[in-house]
Amino acid sequence: MARARTPLADALRERTLTLDGGLGTQLADQGCDLSGGLWSARVLAEQPEQVAAAHTAYARAGAQVLITAGYQVGYAAFARHGYDRRRTTALLGDCVALADRAARSVEHEVWVAASVGPYGATLADRSEYRGRYGLSVRELAAFHRPRIEALLAAGADVLALETVPDTDEAQALLSLLAGTGARAWLSYTVAGERTRAGQPLAEAFALAAAAPEVIAVGVNCCAASDVLPALEAAAHLTSKPLLAYPNDTSGTADWPVAHWRRAGARLIGGCCGVGPQRIAALAAAT
């Protein structure tokens, strides 16, 4: 089937959609080696067919939105491993093409979201869970600009500004989209009722509420127990659709998805530790 033709923003006004799960989780289950500083981006560069297979597994499980493998693709990080700028730009295009192929392999509509991971993800030192990198908003914007330009040129349906740990990085990302007509979602990684960097969620979600380019806002790569309070905080500030794709390290705990939907979640999936089986269950319940 062809890629979804309806703009994602329009679809979200009508119904809840199922996101995919953790790409790294599925790649590991497929036997891929995720060691080293490039993590899943290494598989993208060296074994693209494994990335295509992982996307296809989620699409066949019922995922309606596939998030690309570009989360840790950064020009400086790849330069340290011998990749020039042209090759890195090509990889960002490849990650969209691989998700597109998987989207076309199933009978239901599927949207492709181009992952724009945080600056800290390219450092491979878990600083994406701390934020406050010591960089200014301008410096963070300079880091993200070429990645976003490459992904927009590759033809994704939406940008997934995901696992954002603090408001400085959110400001940088949103400044790059201002006036472009691009569409994105903004998803913070949180701990309790604050961003990972410690800012109040009201401050964080207010940025998304004011940005016309943002079509949905919420949280990912967090504990499932943190989702509902975050969604409720966002709902006080914006009428935009909300989203949630938390981690699951247990593999068995039930999620209060009905409560998330009542709070306004229209994009629901999983992050670290979430595989196709749970996505299939979420899709069946949607």
pLDDT in tens, 52-104: 999 999 999 999 999 999 999 999 999 999 999 999 999 999 999 999 999 99
pLDDT for 249 equals 76
Looking at residues 196-221, what average pLDDT do you find? 97
pLDDT classification of 245: cutoffs 50, 70, 90 = very high
pLDDT at 1 over 70: no
Listed ranges 40-49, 152-161, 248-257; the one with the highest mean pLDDT: 152-161
For residues 131 and 197, the answer to whether their CB atoms sit within 8 Å is: yes
The whole-number pLDDT of residue 124 equals 85
pLDDT at 35: 86
Q: Which of 164, 181, 132, 173 is nearest to 243 (CA)?
A: 164
The tens digit of pLDDT for each residue in 183-204 reads 999 999 999 999 999 999 999 9
Q: pTM value?
A: 0.96
Arithmetic mean of pLDDT, 256-279 = 97
- Does the pLDDT of residue 252 top 80, yes or no? no
Instruction: Compute the average pLDDT of residues 142-167.
Output: 97
Q: Can you give the pLDDT at residue 40? A: 86
Does the structure show a pLDDT above 70 at 237?
Answer: yes
What is the CB-side half-sphere exposure of residue 189 using CA atoms within 13 A?
Answer: 24
